[in-house]
């Protein structure tokens, strides 16, 4: 497994570099995704070790992080956007890329199926039905690692000064107002559909709603420790229902962070 993993890293490094270009705007997006790939891979391994997984399962977690966004590079080269609704589902696109790899068949079938499932569901509103408890657990691990680093990516663009500097693929409409539908979801502590985003306020609120979709307490503690929740809350607009949603969120965070993690696989 370790030699196969090294081969996968070499391939992914070369694959990402194949999208390098002299176009500065395109390279901004490619660089962000290159760094994101490396950081999510590292977080997957860190979280797997925290959970006490075997060396084999830590390697599987590493593979998930390495390939989870492989579809983003082809997506951006074709459509010049990272918005799935305006192009293609990047997870589905990524699976088609992986299917072309000659070494993919060297993974055990159970492992390959698990990796495909976790990648296919990492960007969806919900994981949905899983083929096994093991596949579900790894899908949760990947989603946590991905969200933790996306908070880092977006943090510089969440302040009033940073919004105007956000790349085109991050920007939404300029309005800071939050759509009433999203405020109701915030009050209830639910999840929102990305396709319904209309304003910058909506985009900020969705990142807070992610908190309810974080599975492992280690991840949530990292999100809080790094200041991402406070940063988003600080710049939310003053609208009816927002304070109620914030109070609910903070109560949830306090309770969940006090719990211990379990690997249910």
Asked if 34 and 114 sit in the same domain, the reply is: yes
What's the chain's average pLDDT? 90
One domain for residues 129 and 206: no
Q: Which residues pair with 173 in a beta bridge?
A: 199
Nearest to 204 by CA among 171, 227, 243: 171
For residue 262, is it within any domain? no
Q: In DSSP terms, which residues pair with 181 in a beta bridge?
A: none
> pLDDT tens across 12-21, in order?
999 999 999 9
The pLDDT-based confidence of 174 (bands split at 50, 70, 90) is low
| Same domain (yes/no): 85, 183 | no
Residue 163 lies in a domain: no
With a cut of 60, say whether residue 51 has pLDDT above it.
yes
Residue 128 lies inside a defined structural domain of this protein:
yes
Residue carrying structure tokens 């977690």: 61
Q: What's the rounded mean pLDDT across residues 205-220?
A: 94
The predicted pLDDT at position 198 comes to 78
Q: Are 185 and 138 members of one domain?
A: no
**Res. 84: pLDDT tops 90:** no
Q: Which domain holds residue 204?
A: 172-257
Residue 23 and residue 147 share a domain: yes
Average pLDDT over residues 167-194: 76
Q: Is the pLDDT of residue 211 over 90?
A: yes
**Alpha carbon distance 192, 215 (integer Å):** 17
Is residue 162 classed exposed, middle or buried when 0-12, 13-18 and 19+ CB atoms within 10 A define those classes?
middle
Q: How many distinct structural domains can be found in the chain?
A: 2
Q: What is the pLDDT of residue 115?
A: 96
DSSP the chain: -HHHHHHHHHHHHHHHHTT--S-HHHHHHHHHHHHHHHHHHHHHHHHHHHTT--HHHHHHHHHHHHHTTHHHHHHHHHHS---GGGS--HHHHHHHHHTT-TTGGGS-HHHHHHHHHHHHHTTSSS----SSHHHHHHHHHHHHHHHHHHHHHHGGGSSHHHHTTS-TTT--BS--PPPHHHHHHHHHT----GGG--BHHHHHHHHHHGGGG---HHHHHHHHHTTHHHHHHHT----TTHHHHHHHHHHHHHHHHTSPP----
Q: Do 221 and 127 belong together in one domain?
A: no
Instruction: Work out the average pLDDT over 202-226.
Output: 93
Q: Say if 264 falls within a structural domain.
A: no
Together in a domain, 122 and 220: no
């Amino acid at each position: 497994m370790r030699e196969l993993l090294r081969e996968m890293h070499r391939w992914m490094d070369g694959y990402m570099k194949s999208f390098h270009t002299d176009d500065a705007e395109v390279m901004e997006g490619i660089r962000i995704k290159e760094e994101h790939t490396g950081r999510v891979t590292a977080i997957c391994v860190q979280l797997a070790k925290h959970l006490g997984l075997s060396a084999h399962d830590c390697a599987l977690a590493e593979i998930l992080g390495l390939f989870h966004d492989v579809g983003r590079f082809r997506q951006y080269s074709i459509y010049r956007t990272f918005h799935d609704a305006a192009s293609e589902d990047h997870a589905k696109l990524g699976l088609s890329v992986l299917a072309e790899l000659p070494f993919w068949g060297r993974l055990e079938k159970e492992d390959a199926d698990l990796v495909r499932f976790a990648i296919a569901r990492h960007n969806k509103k919900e994981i949905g039905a899983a083929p096994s408890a093991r596949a579900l657990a790894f899908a949760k691990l990947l989603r946590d690692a991905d969200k933790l680093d996306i908070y880092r990516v977006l943090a510089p663009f969440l302040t009033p000064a940073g919004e105007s500097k956000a790349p085109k693929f991050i920007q939404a409409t300029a309005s800071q107002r939050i759509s009433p539908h999203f405020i109701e979801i915030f009050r209830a502590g639910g999840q929102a559909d990305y396709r319904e985003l209309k304003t910058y306020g909506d985009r900020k609120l969705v990142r807070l709603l992610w908190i309810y979709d974080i599975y492992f307490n280690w991840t949530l503690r990292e999100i809080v420790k790094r200041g991402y929740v406070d940063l988003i809350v600080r710049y939310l607009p003053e609208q009816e229902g927002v304070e109620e949603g914030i109070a609910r969120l903070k109560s949830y965070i306090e309770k969940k962070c006090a719990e211990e993690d379990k690997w249910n696989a």
